[in-house]
Amino acid sequence: MSGENHNHIIPLSENVEENIEKLEMALGKSDDLSIRRLNVSAKNVAIIHIEGIVDDQSINENVISPIIQLNKENHPFKSTKELADKIVQILSVASIEFIFNWSDLLENILAGDTVILVDDSPKAITLGTKKIQSRSITEPTTQTVIKGPKDSFTENISTNISLVRSRIQNAKLRLKLTKVGNVTKTDVGIMYIQGNADISIVNEVMSRLEKINIDSILEANYIEEAVRDNRKTLFPLMQSSERPDVVAANLLEGKIAIIIQGTPFVLILPVLLIQFFQSPEDYYENNAFSSFLRLIRIGSFLLNMYASAVYLALITHHQGLIPTTLMVTLMAQRERVPFPAIIELLLMELAFEVLREAGVRMPRAIGPAVSIVGALILGQAAVEAGFVSAAIVIIVATSAINSFTLPNTNIVNTARGLRFLLIFSSAFIGFYGILLLTLCILVHLCSLRSFGVPYVAPFAPFRMGAQKDSLIRFPITSINMNDTEGNKETKTK
């Protein structure tokens, strides 16, 4: 690493061959390094790029052929400077830059630019010919909607930026690019809307990104873990989305997006808890209906977290609270089961977690097999064999189904973690345990901040104006996008 630091003060040699030799040494004689040597007016000219990450056609047509043409014309150039200037003029490439030192040279070549070296000239000409192969824009796979845009981000940062830009055609949309990762030098872009976003948060994000000192950035989570406020929390302090419409909507609300090369997931910050229950579809449907669905989602989240723990508390500590007829049914089921309720519940919960993990990892072709094994063998047969009671299967299945209503997977994982904690506290001291753990979760939530904005923002601190788009959604015309949710909070800071 220390060699690199020296490079940027080492100027380029004026001899083309010397430079090429040094470059080959630096890249370990890499086989995909392509060097085209030409001779223009008795000066050596070299055109260098790395194969595969450049636009070959553009280089052939717009770079090499004009230079060959120039050679044919046989101009008498007085100086090298004149030759270099002439070359710059005849190239039909959009972006042209001059560089003077080694580190820039290496960086540009590795990023997909083409470099032209000219004898006796201390500067190199770089041409923006980057073209990285990527898959085309497809439908989103993790955040699907019935009605609404069907495009999603890809692994290519420039495609992603274009998807956002095409939605917000405004001069105030700002982009700042930087490179993160000591080894990978991944392109990371920060997008925000000037005037809507709190500029102090933008600066804070920039400074936190600059402070990141890890070798590689391969996915959005690398950034998320490196820059979040509180490391000791189960709750996601940033939202990740693969939908350009979600990112655009958040930008308009004054949020900041971090776009990372190599992943279709874009980070959105600062984030509020309530945002994880809001689906983009909420704004594409009738507001009364989407408000109802939002409440359903919050209810599902709570059920997903609490169903098992509450059942356990009822069956082991507070039988008196169950209506008598239901109690008789439940107890009749439990009579054959050889395990205590907590073991029974943990077995089923873990079985479901295993099924879920298996569902993600296994090859597509054997997908139906898992559902047969899961549903029939684990569910029905286990009950019939008397290993578990039917009620437990129902409870675990209910909480599982409920977890799928949430539009954002980050918060589902939080609920999964908290569910086990709640089960243990419920097994220990029943409802009282659930209640105290809930208080602790509440206190923890209140202590969280996402880039300085309180996590539970529209409720504590309470903002009346922001209630129009938190638990329920008012008609779009009555929501002033600029003071929704925590945005006001950010601005008053």
Partner 1 sequence: MSNVKIDGYQLFCLIVLFLFGTTIFLDIGSGAKQDAWILTLISPFAGLILFTIYYQLHKRFPTLPLTEYVRKIWGKFLGSIISYFYIIYFIYIASRVLRDIEEILINSAYYKTSITVVGICMMLTLIYTVNFGFEVFARVACICFLLIGLTLLIINIMFIITDLIHIENLKPILADGWKPIIKSLPLNVTVPYGELITLSMVFPYLNKQTKILKTGIMAVLFAGIYFTLNILLLICVLGTDVLSRSSFPALKAASFIDIAGFIQRLDSFVIILVVFLGFIKITMFFFCAVIGMNTLFKIKSSALSTYSIGVIILLASIMIAPSYQNHLDEGLEIVPYLLHIPLQIVIPLLLLLTVLIKGRIKNVIT
> Per CB under 8 A, does 472 bind partner 1?
no
Q: Tell me if 100 contacts partner 1 by CB under 8 A.
A: no
- Residue 354 makes contact with partner 1 by CB under 8 A: no
Judged by CB under 8 A, does residue 140 bind partner 1?
no
Residue 449 to residue 445: CA distance in whole angstroms: 8
Does position 366 interact with partner 1 (CB under 8 A)? The reply is no
Nearest distance, CB of residue 459 and partner 1, angstroms: 6
**Tokens 């990023």 sit on residue:** 111
Q: Which pairs count as long-range contacts for 198-203, CB under 8 Å and 24+ apart, including other chains?
A: 198/254, 198/490, 198/491, 198/493, 200/493, 201/256, 201/269, 201/270, 201/451, 201/452, 201/453, 201/490, 202/176, 202/256
When the beta carbons of 6 and 491 are compared against partner 1, the nearer one is: 491
Give the C-alpha distances (Å, rounded to integers) separating 367 from 355, 403, 461.
11, 20, 47
Near partner 1 by CB under 8 A, which window of 8-16, 27-35, 178-186, 431-439? 431-439
For residue 228, give the H/E element and its range.
none
430: contact with partner 1 by CB under 8 A: yes
Pick the closer one to partner 1 by CB: 110 or 460. 460
Q: Which is nearer to partner 1, 375 or 439 (CB)?
A: 439
Sole binder of partner 1 in the list 183, 332, 439, 476 (CB under 8 A)? 439
Helix/strand/coil (H, E, C) string of 460-482? CCECCHHHHECCCECCHHHCCHH
Asked whether position 323 contacts partner 1 by CB under 8 A, the answer is yes
Read off the DSSP letter of residue 369: H
Contacts 24+ apart (CB under 8 A), 221-229: 222/181, 223/180, 223/188, 223/258, 223/260, 223/267, 224/267, 228/450, 229/448, 229/449, 229/450, 229/451, 229/452
In terms of CB distance, is 331 or 440 closer to partner 1?
A: 440
Beta carbon nearer to partner 1, 167 or 468: 468
Sort strands 96-99 and 124-127 into parallel, antiparallel or unpaired.
antiparallel
Candidates 435, 465, 472, 482; binder of partner 1 (CB under 8 A) is 435
Determine the interface stretch with partner 1 among 157-165, 208-216, 252-260, 318-326 (rule: CB under 8 A). Answer: 318-326
User: Is residue 358 near partner 1 by the rule CB under 8 A?
Assistant: no
Binding segment (CB under 8 A) for partner 1, from list 33-41, 49-57, 156-164, 429-437 = 429-437
Which C-beta is closer to partner 1: that of 284 or that of 432?
432
Answer yes or no whether residue 459 interacts with partner 1 by CB under 8 A. yes
The nearest distance, CB 450 to partner 1, in angstroms, is 14
Figure out which of the listed residues 77, 284, 339, 431 binds partner 1, where binding follows CB under 8 A: 431
Peptide bond into 461 cis (omega under 30): yes
Within 317-340, residue ranges assigned H as helices are 324-334
Identify the CA nearest to 347 among candidates 307, 384, 380, 382: 382
**CB atoms < 10 A from the CB of 488, how many?**
19
Interface residue with partner 1 among 135, 318, 336, 491 (CB under 8 A) is 318
**What is 386-450 written as a DSSP string?**
TSS-HHHHHHHHHHHHHHTT-S-HHHHHHHHHHHHHHHHHHHHHHHHHHHHHHHHHHHHHHH-EE
Give the nearer residue to partner 1 in terms of CB position, either 296 or 436. 436
Instruction: Tell the smallest beta-carbon distance from residue 95 to partner 1 (Å).
Output: 47
User: In the complex, what is the shortest distance from the CB of residue 268 to partner 1, in angstroms, rounded to a whole number?
Assistant: 23
**How many Cβ atoms from other residues are within 10 Å of residue 420's Cβ?**
15
Interstrand relation of 449-450 and 453-454 (parallel, antiparallel or unpaired): antiparallel
Between 68 and 440, whose beta carbon lies closer to partner 1? 440
By the rule CB under 8 A, 436 interacts with partner 1: yes
Q: Which residues of 354-368 are buried (b: 16+ CB within 10 A; e: fewer)?
A: ebeeeeeeeeeeeee
Q: What is the smallest separation between the CB atom of 431 and partner 1, expressed in angstroms?
A: 7
The site that binds partner 1 (CB under 8 A) totals a number of residues, namely 24
| Cβ at position 448, least distance to partner 1 in Å | 9
| Amino acid at site 326 | L
State in angstroms the smallest separation of the CB of 160 from partner 1: 36
Q: Which is nearer to partner 1, 320 or 363 (CB)?
A: 320
Cβ-based nearer residue to partner 1, 153 or 451:
451
Q: Which of 41, 432, 465, 472 binds partner 1 (CB under 8 A)?
A: 432
328 is a site residue for partner 1 (CB under 8 A): no
Residue 433 as a binder of partner 1 (CB under 8 A): the answer is yes
Provide the minimum distance between the beta carbon of 108 and partner 1 in the complex, in angstroms, as a whole number: 47
* Site for partner 1 contains 460 (CB under 8 A): yes
Q: What angle do CA 21, 23, 24 make, to 5 degrees?
A: 65
44, β-bridge pairs: 39
Distance CA 400, CA 307 (A): 10
Chain contacts with partner 1 (rule: CB under 8 A): 317-318, 320-321, 323, 429-433, 435-436, 439-440, 442-443, 446-447, 454, 456, 459-462
